[in-house]
Amino acid sequence: MHDEVVFAVTKAVVTRQLKPGDRFPSIRTLSQELKINPNTAQRIVSTLVERGILEVQPGIGTIVGTLRPAPAPVRRAALHDDIERVVVEARRVGLDVDDLVELIRREWK
């Protein structure tokens, strides 16, 4: 559940469904709405804060942060494992590199 929620929130931020400064639910609200353990909700928020997706503002709560690009080597390293998994899965189902690139281009939009 942790990874799925982190991905969903990250996607909402990069697609601008959630904008910088938007308030994010409290740990209690998040755990109740998703019907998950509060410890899991805390881990989700902590992960999103560590990644710079969310920021904790004293007196305000947790808000959506402003995305700042990491340096190129850090970006590449962060995506390496995910890209490797996608390439392996694409090969498993018989896609060639051109098909994979086209799928990525469509998703990018």
pLDDT in tens, 12-64: 998 899 999 999 999 999 999 999 999 999 999 999 999 899 999 999 999 99
CA-to-CA distance for 89 and 87, rounded, in angstroms?
A: 5
Tell me how long the chain is.
Answer: 109
**87 alpha-carbon distance from chain centroid:** 20
First-to-last alpha carbon distance for the chain, in angstroms, is 26
Per-domain residue ranges for the chain? 2-64, 72-108
The model carries a pTM of 0.73
CATH architecture of 2-64: Orthogonal Bundle (1.10)
3-state secondary structure of 94: coil
CA-to-CA distance for 86 and 81, rounded, in angstroms?
A: 9
